Amino acid sequence: MIVIFCNREETIEHCFLQCHYVKEIWKELKKEYAICLKLKSFTHIRQWVSEWIQNAEDFQSMIMAVAIWHIWENRNAYRNGEALNHPLRVVGKIKAYVEFINMHHFSLTTSIRRETLKSNQKWSPLLDGSMLVNVDAATFSQSARAGFGVVIRDHRGRVQATNRGYFERIQIPEVAEAMALRQALILANNLGIQNIMVASDCLSVINKVKGLGFDRSPIGAIVHDIRKCATKFVSCTFIHVNRSCNEATHVLTKS
């Protein structure tokens, strides 16, 4: 595969707009968000950016900012010797960040929030000093991996920390969910948080963690680790929530 990427001698226009690699990214974003770069009137990068932002809606401007940031990050990673991500993978990351920002700052009328509108579960303020730790996991058969996402919020619902990652050779959803829950506790403990409420949409794992006896299921050892990790906190409780209340972590997991 021949990869065309900008170097020091190439222009900013080529780096962000004109090279074949970047054009594939913008092509997919146009399909997803109907975003148009309007390059027919392009004469200079500064003039184009100024006019584009002036005429764009806030949501479109946000997509543009996220896309440019990811393109630049991906370019720098490649120049530093990392493997070049496929354009569709870059688009996937952009979509994940756009959806995450959209859930917290834009209208609830977009498709990614439709499920939330149908939900009866709502945010309930925690006690001052407590943190809500949302966690989710998903398996990906093509890569034989499981991804996880963690979002930590304070008692007012403000995001304090996020994390995402993956586990190799994990294809059983319940195992992935349990491992993600353990990872969330490790993160909270490393951040020095004392009082937490851990929320997951995997009811089976939550019930096993809250159980009293020794769990003899395939995830029994992980459940034991989770219970042990929970003792490191002043207060640690586990609750089950539906998917709509766990959407932010689901976005991180899929990314």
pLDDT in tens, 28-40: 888 888 888 877 7
Same domain, 143 and 100: no
Same domain, 129 and 250: yes
Interacting residues of 167 by C-beta distance below 8 A, sequence separation 6+? 145, 146, 148, 176, 179
Quote the number of domains for the chain: 2
Q: What is the pLDDT of residues 113-123, one digit of tens each?
A: 344 334 445 55
Task: Report if residue 234 sits inside a domain.
Answer: yes
Cα→Cα distances 197→37, 84, 155, 165, 235, Å: 44, 39, 10, 21, 8
Same domain, 227 and 160: yes
Dihedral of the alpha carbons of 112, 115, 118, 122, in degrees to the nearest 10: -80
Residue 202: CB atoms within 10 Å = 22
Same domain, 72 and 148: no
Same domain, 86 and 187: no
Longest CA–CA separation in the chain, Å: 70
Per the structure, the complete domain to which residue 61 belongs is given by: 12-106
Query: In this structure, what CATH number is given to the domain that contains residue 127?
Result: 3.30.420.10
Same domain, 138 and 232: yes
> pLDDT band at 7, cuts 50/70/90?
very low
- Once rounded to an integer, what is the mean pLDDT over residues 182-188? 95
Q: What is the pLDDT of residues 48-96, one digit of tens each?
A: 777 887 888 888 888 888 888 888 888 888 888 888 888 888 888 888 7
Same domain, 94 and 59: yes
> pLDDT band at 148, cuts 50/70/90?
very high
Task: Report if residue 118 sits inside a domain.
Answer: no
For the cut 90, the answer to whether the pLDDT of residue 192 exceeds it is yes
With 0.75 as the threshold, say if the pTM is over it: no
pLDDT at 242: 82
* Six token digits for residue 176: 């992935």
Higher-pLDDT residue of 62 and 128 is 62
Residue 176 identity (one-letter amino acid): A
84: DSSP letter: P
Same domain, 193 and 234: yes
